[in-house]
Structure 1
Amino acid sequence: MSTAPGWLSALGRERARPTRLRDWPHAGWLVVGTVCFGAFMGQLDASIVTLTYHPLRTAFHASLAEVQWVSLGYLLALTALLIPVGRLADAHGRKLTYLYGFVVFTAASAACGLAPTLGALVGFRVLQAVGASMLQANSVALVTTSAPADRMRAALGVQAAAQALGLALGPTLGGLLVATLGWRWVFWINVPVGVLAVVAGIYLLPRTRHRAAVTGRDLPGTLLLAAASTSLLLGLSGVAGPGVPHWVAIALLGLAVATSIGFVARLRCASAPLVDPALLRNRDVAAGLLGALGGYLVLFGPLVLVPVTFADAGRSPLRAGLVLTALPAGFALAATVADRLLPDGWTERTRATTGAALSVLALAGLFAVPPASTWLIGPLILLGVALGLFTPANNTLIMAAIPGSTAATGGGLVNMARGLGTALGVALVTLALTAGAGMRPLDGPTLAVLVLAAAALVTLGSARAQRGRAPGGASPSR
């Protein structure tokens, strides 16, 4: 008798945790620690790959515009897949999706390191993004359905700190690997971490206790969402970067608007829409997603602004990197220790509002210090602390307003908002630096800081718009 059906069945079944681990009072923190593998690697991969641009141009005799597709292809695929993958995970199991996500991500990372051509590398990066979407769509959901309700914010803070740590180490580690072992090791470094994460996930992650009903796949909605996000990011890239005709960029942005309207219309008429319209009508969810976009725009904008400003002033990349590290360091510090230092009576809304207000103050401080100087460390640390206070509280408000059965879909929405915020931060700051060249009295860096300050004000408004009611849906998983 063939054992193949049994093997196939096992591959599609979530394995329970060992009873001793499941019943341990602190089992939820083991889940958070396991999820932090994916949070760390996702941000490390996002920030480390830019260090390969120069060696890739040399190795493949390619232009900068061609090499940028190593990042752009990854970002486009990731943004388009987060919500559909989250919906599938809600229906078929978040643990299963997360584990297979790490398998795909790890295998694709190994393939990236072996890529014989630039085209093959871009293709493997798209495959890597498929795995990353399976991780990111489930990360917030696994944390919120495993951590105790009264510790949800602290758990989300630890996850955010892992992301900040990956973001902070990316430039330093990437530069070291490229300088010593070569660009291929930038991708191969993911392999041992991925193997370790899969083994840990098998034993430490809980099975999905509450699953959403499978009522349809909404292929039109998925295609409209993919078209909207892809055309938006391509349009922003075209506006911010040289060599793209303006009419092409405008056409892409127009397509983004048209497909976004089509996606909203599809949500209203589909029998099984990709995203439940009731989620987006929820005030805490809608305002929180806007805040997540604005917060990540403000977080990633300086990652472009500071290196460019320092390079234009003749400062070394190492000096720029050391100054810039203050931002993710402040983020990680606040995300992990703020819970112990702030008054117990502060609500999530108060924390989010305070963090957003501090980010506005920090950006105002950037106007008071000389550009391309080490004095930037002060405002950057304050900005990191502000966003490290805002982000976990904002995520808690969003996820508390989403039923536990659709937690991965909600997590996909959060991560998609973050991805769009990241892309907007890079594109708008680049555009400001380009448009501000030669302007008086505003120069490029000043215009870029004004753009970030405007985004911080929007983020503050979104935090004030949230009501912050008690958690409504997340329930522990076994």
Structure 2
Amino acid sequence: MPLSESNTAFREIPASRARWALASLSLAMLMPSLDTSIANAALPSLARTLEASFAQVQWIVLAYLLAITTLIASAGRLGDQLGRRRVLLGGIALFTLASLCCGLAPGLGWLLAARALQGLGAAVMLALSMALVGDALPKARTGAAMGWLGSMSALGTTLGPALGGLILAGLGWRWMFLVNVPLGLLALLLAWRCLPADRPVASASAFDVPGTVLLALSLGAYALALTLGERVLAPLNLGLLAVGVAGGVLLVRVERRAAAPLFQPALLRRPQLRRSLWLSLLVSTVIMTTLVVGPFYLSRGLGLDTLAVGLSLSLGPLVATLCGAPAGRLVDRYGARPLSRLGVLGLCGGLSLLALLPLSLGLVGYLLALALVTASYALFQAANNSLVMLDVAPQQRGLTAGLLSLSRNLGLISGAAAMGALFAWGSRPQVAGRDGAEAVASGMHWTFGVAALLMLLALLIAGRDRSSEEAGAAGRPACPD
């Protein structure tokens, strides 16, 4: 059955079944987003339990993110070629099995391997959940659906540390991963029963092995350079950074000649898509910064126990849940471009407050600023996702969604590695000029100050959008596949 027939058949099915299909996509977006950060609040405890250093347990987060980022563009293309529903079902099954392996891991090495496998399944789920919206719903409802999926992404990412802290306090660290098993089985059942059947929509082509390997090499070297040892400017770290840069340059050259590249140069010639990808990268960087730095400030800066940290961090997901659906409706009504800028502006203000208010107001100041950051993030996600996906040809939705998810996960890696390194540097007594909780507060001040500057850069990028360019984009044909 051709894709167009599949779309038509789906749109003619009862509204109740369409809602269940959207529920399956929402769950497929929520679970991998949740596991992006669920271990963050537990890293100090995991370091003690697994008898590992912080730099070693930090790879519980990074192994997952690196696996996602390396394969997410290929996952989108694979869905375009083999059928998005069947590839999504395979991704959910792999994610669920890997979550079980994480929960049963006997040591750190096995846990890291299982987390990397979990990231492979997550790459498929994140890339294809948004792509399937275009197949499942009429265009008039795309904004609301994207807003809902954006809220699921924001909810999962922000809920991770809070839920992880609560589970750690009550059940132990293994249940942070085992909780995905029943959720994964439910998502698999809903997707199998409610999503429309499909067939390959593009000619099969070879998997881009050189591009995938180079991407993994570049990202791995970059993450290692920022997590090995205590000095980022040590010779080994600088050498790894050089390897990462060289790998990135070589990747660009290889992709220009690849028969089946990870990304199509024709897509990146679209100015609006390039801007949206840069904005997604920068916003994801600062969001992961809040998820890495926040638990350490609450536990070491304010002296809260694990349960109190989890409860404090639950404010973020609560705000994301309340703001997600209204954000989607606002996008449908007022347009994606202005609300994308408004979301970035709110993030800039919220991060500035995070750098300043907790120093004087403590926990209250932190929570007030965090609420503004999370609400702005939900608005940005709904607007930016809609802006990217609304004007994409059906046969390119998987690839474009993969690029969007790739930029997001590049930002998450940068937030966990680069901004985490900045926080560690700013919290050192010789830099902060003080010890203990005051040093942690100083590190948070510097880190969120830099994060606010990154949002100023994002505002400049968003401000380059011209009304004349919008008019030109309206008449520009879709890029050829």
Compute the TM-score of the two structures, normalised by the length of structure 2.
0.85
Change (3 A) 1:26 1:461: farther
Instruction: Work out the CA distance in 1 between the residues paired with 2:11 and 2:258.
Output: 42
The answer on whether the counterparts of 2:154 and 2:381 sit within 8 Å (CA) in structure 1 is no
Equivalent position of 1:9 in the other structure: none
Say yes or no: does 1:204 pair with 2:194.
yes
Residue matched to 1:461: 460
RMSD: 3.0
Distance 1:177 1:424, change over 3 A: same
Q: Deviations over 1:379-428 (max 9, x none)?
A: 22122222211111111111234322121121111111111111222333
Distance across 1 between alignment mates of 2:340 and 2:232: 39
Task: Show the counterpart of 1:423.
Answer: 413
1:355-374 equivalence runs, <5 A: 355-371=343-359, 372-374=362-364
Q: Quick one: which amino acid aligns to residue 203 of structure 2?
A: A
Partner SS state of residue 206, structure 1 = coil
Q: Structure 2: any 5+ residue segments left out of the alignment?
A: 1-5, 435-440
Q: Which residue is equivalent to 2:438? A: none
- Structure 2 CA distance for partners of 1:36 and 1:429, relative to 1, 3 Å: same
Q: Structure 1 residues 193-202 or 174-183, which shifts more?
A: 174-183
Q: Please show how residues 64-463 of structure 1 align to structure 2 within 5 Å.
A: 64-208=54-198, 211-238=201-228, 242=230, 246-317=234-305, 318-340=307-329, 344=333, 346-371=334-359, 372-437=362-427, 438-439=431-432, 443-463=442-462
The verdict on how the C-alpha distance between 1:401 and 1:342 changes in structure 2, with shifts beyond 3 A counting, is closer
Structure 1: how far apart are the matches of 2:209 and 2:371? 44
* Mapped contact 1:47–1:167 kept (Cα < 8 A): yes
1:210–1:405 contact (8 Å) kept in structure 2: no
1:283 Cα deviation (Å)? 0.9
Q: Distance in 2 between matches of 1:292 and 1:157?
A: 15
Q: Return the letter of the residue paired with 1:84.
A: S
Q: CA deviation at 1:74?
A: 1.9
CA deviation profile, 1:50-101 (whole Å, cap 9, x unmatched): 3554554455444443333332222221211111122111100111111011
Q: More deviation in 181-190 or 360-369? A: 360-369
The question of whether the paired residues in 2 share the 8 Å contact of 1:400 and 1:473 is answered with no
* Distance in 2 (alpha carbons) for counterparts of 1:282 and 1:254: 30
> Cα deviation per residue 1:246-269 (whole Å; 9 max; x = unaligned)?
222222221121111112112222
| Aligned CA distance change for structure 1 residues 455 and 145 (closer, same or farther; 3 Å) | farther
Percent identity of equivalent pairs: 33
- Following superposition, the deviation at residue 138 of structure 1 comes to 0.9
Alpha-carbon offset, residue 349 of structure 1 = 0.8
Displacement of 1:310: 3.2
Preserved CA contact (<8 Å) 2:10 2:196 = no
Partner of 1:6: none
Whether the aligned pair in 2 keeps the contact of 1:284 and 1:401 (CA below 8 Å) is no
What residue is the counterpart of 1:13 in the other structure?
none
Shift of 1:367: 4.7
Partner Cα separation in structure 2 for residue 209 and residue 24 of structure 1: 22
Q: Partners of 2:460 and 2:197 in 1: how far apart? A: 38
Find the aligned partners of 2:331 and 2:79 in 1 and give their Cα distance: 35
**Alignment-mate amino acid for residue 352 of structure 2:** A
Q: Distance in 1 between matches of 2:445 and 2:16?
A: 48
Taking the aligned partners of 2:51 and 2:254, their CA distance within structure 1 comes to: 44
Q: Residues 153 and 440 of structure 1: is their aligned pair in 2 closer, same or farther, counting only changes over 3 Å?
A: farther
Q: Does the CA-based 8 Å contact 1:143-1:155 persist in structure 2?
A: yes
Letter in 2 for 1:189: V
Q: Do the aligned residues in 1 keep the contact of 2:227 with 2:421 (CA within 8 Å)?
A: no
In 2: Cα distance, 1:67 partner to 1:435 partner: 18
Q: 1:282-314: per-residue Cα shift (whole Å, max 9, x none)?
A: 111111110111111122212233333334434
Whether contact under 8 Å (2:144, 2:329) holds in the other structure is no
Amino acid at match of 2:287: L
Query: Compared with structure 1, are the counterparts of its residues 60 and 362 closer, same or farther at alpha carbon in structure 2 (3 Å cutoff)?
Result: closer
Distance 1:472 1:332 in 2: 36
The equivalent of 1:3 in structure 2 is: none
Aligned residues: 456
- C-alpha distance in structure 2 between counterparts of 1:303 and 1:428, whole Å: 13
CA distance in 1, matches of 2:53, 2:282: 32
Partner Cα distance (1:111, 1:364) in 2: 40
Moved over 6 A (4+): 471-474
Counterpart of 1:270, as a letter, is: A
Distance 1:362 1:61, change over 3 A: closer
Separation in structure 2 between the aligned mates of residue 354 and residue 57 of structure 1, nearest angstrom: 39
**What amino acid is the match of 1:446?**
H
- Aligned partner of residue 369 in structure 1, secondary structure: helix
| Deviation per residue, 1:208-233 (Å, 9 max, x gap) | 46722223323222222222222222
Please tell me whether the aligned partners of residues 42 and 132 of structure 1 are also in contact (alpha carbons under 8 angstroms): yes
* CA distance in 1: counterparts of 2:451 and 2:216, whole angstroms: 27
**Contact 1:354 1:390 survives alignment (8 Å):** yes
Distance 2:231 2:421 in 1: 13
SS of alignment partner, residue 215 of structure 1:
coil
1:31 corresponding residue in structure 2:
21
Specify the alignment match of 1:48 in structure 2. 38
Report the residue type matching 1:447 in the other structure. Answer: W
Structure 1 portions without partners, runs of 5+: 1-15
Q: 1:455 to 1:327 in 2, by over 3 A?
A: farther
Please tell me whether the aligned partners of residues 165 and 309 of structure 2 are also in contact (alpha carbons under 8 angstroms).
no
Q: Tell which deviates more after alignment, 361-370 or 140-149.
A: 361-370
Deviates more, 1:262-271 or 1:94-103: 262-271
Q: Which has the higher helix share?
A: 2
* Amino acid of the structure 2 residue aligned with 1:334: C
Q: Which amino acid aligns with 1:462?
A: I
